[in-house]
Chain A
């Protein structure tokens, strides 16, 4: 079997297998898989509104995935995307409500605030790793909690005791009438464009700049990088800062596009953690992240339709979605099985 055919076949077989196992789970639980999957399909592609909402859901996954993937390529495991996203969300919303400025200044300023906040939240673990060799996984996990509770406290202060901020001024909003009209008034916003530009930015940094060359070298082999005169510590910090900035932008998507405010949270949003899976599904490449985010965003949003349209409890739905993603992620097992099947055929001849 040629490589090309395998590469094409693996994702298809993975998704089909995931769907079959998901169907079995629904069947065993006493629900109709056909109705279930019809509801899922309609929940993703049903009409222009759902397509718009699906795309809206994909947007923060794109940026969270980029954040994780970027750190991975530099040899770092950024589990702190969740926290960086939360501070980015708050920073963007705060700038959105605190001042009123012309849109041409206000919107970029709010976006920038989110990126800077995320970058700062990435800088701390980067610095600790570079200076004291503290493992970034530990620090980023802890930074997630700090982000969650600090922003909650700040929201209470800003809203004078309330649990959410005012709505941001329209001059800071990413929403666009054009997109809303196009998609039957979904919440699809211009952030999708920004996220796609960021995919290009990540590709550009990694593949076209000396910084990207260094980051990849450090990610693969710190000793050789040091020997070659690269500043390993600087690169570790840079990688975390850029990764954090991507994560902060994911927060801006929520603050300036989807919700247009920030409310205090009882727990994590989960987008940052799902970003890890998005990045890994996409093999940590910019294009792969588009694939991973699309899969995640579509399934997550489409699944919301399953309880309503097919009467399947949300718990079962979540299991089904997890199973599908699980099979896609285990693509290499399927690759192995395909190769083995091909090998057997050859022997039989």
Chain B
């Protein structure tokens, strides 16, 4: 069999830390090869070695059988290796074509020749079924479309081997299905794909073979058709993993959160949350299921005081907190794991210890009459790092240096440690691996079992179905139905999320209105 890329016994060190040790990955021509590993296992490091961003300390790389020295990304480009990054590298207010030609603008007599470029982009788009408008402005198109622009960018530059880094992390289920079709189309056109992911379902759906790495070590390569998700998860984590979250029945008591006829507008004055009613009781987890953009973010921001409420009420333990400042809401007993951990959850340039104190720095014991005691922060941080298994070099490491999963664990540690009566978890497992997801889910359930109220917002049906005791389906700013997970199916939920409310059932027996 012909290998287009061979990475043999790669070793990469950072100081005393070995990020990749003896990893071998062989990519056959025309296959989708998944690279599986937990957050921080060394997947990105390995791909950055292949893409020329890092130089390996050991091992060799062969492209089409020839030993190569990829000293920088330009060399990788010339060898036909293209990368579709997890966080898109696009200029928001440029058009699709402008973004694609950025860095290698074609010119005609010294003037950028956008027209020819746009035609070429349109042709490529058609060839691979990408359906991208070359003249659209990036900020106007959906996340899924933006990702296709990234794919086009690599194709435009003549990539034969495409690396997808966690491509489904920010996509809706619909977009994921489309992406899988696109990947299959790319293979049909003779490209080869390396897919970095920790989502087993996707691997089973789309890949031909899987290379597993664990804690920087190459574990081996298996053929997808001859394995199953359980085996893969065990290989990745190094132990058996339970997929079905274990939890006993809920014993809800009095209401902790009450939302009454809430209306929230976006900055243009358009209502995003429309007369929404919802309650969460002590000792239960209420999941909000819905497609991204149906008012979930606005709802959370209104509850936590980050966004103005147009009308309606938010009550915590019967106390009106509508329109209160975020700190007052927090002090009323609300913990909030925000949707966007980089934007809201963390000050990335702060040490992880400072971030752990972000909600409590102004109170004893961390500060007394305005004077900080940084030793107390370090103590607290060490405790949370230990209790929540945050893999870091210590409280003084900048938050930016942690992997996504560990950043998230630190945030969850910070919020859960304050022991809030209501914990709002918005997409708490986005972009995390099965090990971390299992951990976070069990923490949410633990909060519930301790008699706290938990509000979970998720775009993942699996998660909502597994973790919630009740599911409130949101569509276009309204709760269209409230269902019990055991009595519903993913299909029914999907229909509700798409706005096909079952008319007979609306306002039915599980309604909270």
Contact = CB atoms under 8 A, between A and B. Distances in A.
A227 interface: yes
B337 to A, nearest CB: 11
Interface string B311-353: 0000000000000011110100000101000011111111000
Contacts of B110: none
A213 interface: yes
B306 interface: yes
Contacts of B361: 210, 213-214
B229 to A, nearest CB: 36
Interface string B287-310: 000000000000000001010000
Interface stretch (A216-224, A276-284, A294-302): A216-224
Interface string A201-219: 0000000111111101100
A227 B345 contact: yes
A16 to B, nearest CB: 31
Contacts of B359: 228-229
Given A227-B338, A229-B325, A210 B372 contact: yes
B368 to A, nearest CB: 10
Interface centre among A209, A217, A227 (most CB of B within 10 A): A227
B371 interface: yes
A225 interface: yes
A224 B343 contact: yes
15 contacts: A210-B362, A210-B371, A213-B367, A217-B358, A220-B350, A221-B349, A225-B347, A226-B326, A227-B306, A227-B336, A228-B358, A228-B359, A229-B328, A230-B327, A231-B325
A227 B344 contact: yes
B347 A221 contact: yes
B14 to A, nearest CB: 14
Contacts of A231: 325
B463 to A, nearest CB: 23
B372 A213 contact: yes
Contacts of B330: 229
Nearest to B359: A228
A121 to B, nearest CB: 25
Interface centre among A209, A225, A228, A229 (most CB of B within 10 A): A228
Contacts of B354: 213, 217
B173 to A, nearest CB: 28
Interface string A292-327: 000000000000000000000000000000000000
A209 B306 contact: no
A220 B361 CA distance: 16
Contact of A210 (B325, B327, B370): B370
A243 to B, nearest CB: 19
Interface in A228-251: 228-231
Contacts of B346: 221, 224
Contact of B344 (A211, A223, A230): A223
Interface centre among A210, A214, A217, A230 (most CB of B within 10 A): A210
Contacts of B350: 216-217, 220
> Which 4 A-B pairs have CB atoms at the shortest separation, nearest pair first?
A229-B327, A227-B344, A228-B358, A220-B349
Given A210-B361, A213-B361, A220 B347 contact: yes
A214 B361 CA distance: 9
B347 A211 contact: no
Contacts of A217: 347, 350, 354, 358
A208 B368 CA distance: 11
Contacts of A210: 361-362, 367, 370-372
Contacts of A211: 370
A212 B354 CA distance: 12
Contact of B326 (A208, A212, A227): A227
A228 B330 CA distance: 8
A223 B367 contact: no
A169 to B, nearest CB: 36
Contacts of B306: 226-227
A220 B344 CA distance: 12
A224 B347 contact: yes
A321 B300 CA distance: 57
A182 B158 CA distance: 74
Contacts of B367: 210, 213
Contacts of A224: 343-347, 358
Interface centre among A211, A213, A217, A220 (most CB of B within 10 A): A213
A223 B343 contact: yes
Contact of A209 (B327, B343, B348, B370): B370
B371 A220 contact: no
Contacts of A225: 347
Interface in B366-389: 367, 370-372
Contacts of A214: 361
Contacts of B357: 213
Contacts of A223: 343-344
Nearest to B355: A224
Given A214-B361, A227-B306, A229-B359, 4 more contacts: A210-B371, A216-B350, A223-B344, A224-B344
A232 B157 CA distance: 44
Contacts of B338: 227
Contact of B371 (A208, A216, A226, A229): A208
A332 B350 CA distance: 23
Contacts of B370: 209-211
A5 to B, nearest CB: 17
A220 B358 contact: no
A214 B358 CA distance: 9
Nearest to B340: A223
Nearest to A204: B371
Contacts of B349: 220-221
A231 B325 CA distance: 9
B375 to A, nearest CB: 12
Interface string B155-194: 0000000000000000000000000000000000000000
Interface in B48-76: none
A180 B99 CA distance: 65
A213 B359 CA distance: 12
Contacts of B347: 217, 220-221, 224-225
B207 to A, nearest CB: 36
A208 B327 CA distance: 22
A211 B370 CA distance: 7
A225 B325 CA distance: 13
B194 to A, nearest CB: 29
Given A208-B371, A209-B371, A210-B370, A221 B362 contact: no
A208 B367 CA distance: 9
A229 B344 contact: no
A228 B304 CA distance: 10
A234 to B, nearest CB: 11
B424 to A, nearest CB: 12
B358 A209 contact: no
Contacts of B371: 208-210
A213 B351 CA distance: 12
A217 B403 CA distance: 21
Nearest to A230: B327
B306 to A, nearest CB: 7
B348 A229 contact: no
A214 to B, nearest CB: 8
A128 to B, nearest CB: 20
B415 to A, nearest CB: 11
Contacts of B362: 210
A232 B376 CA distance: 25
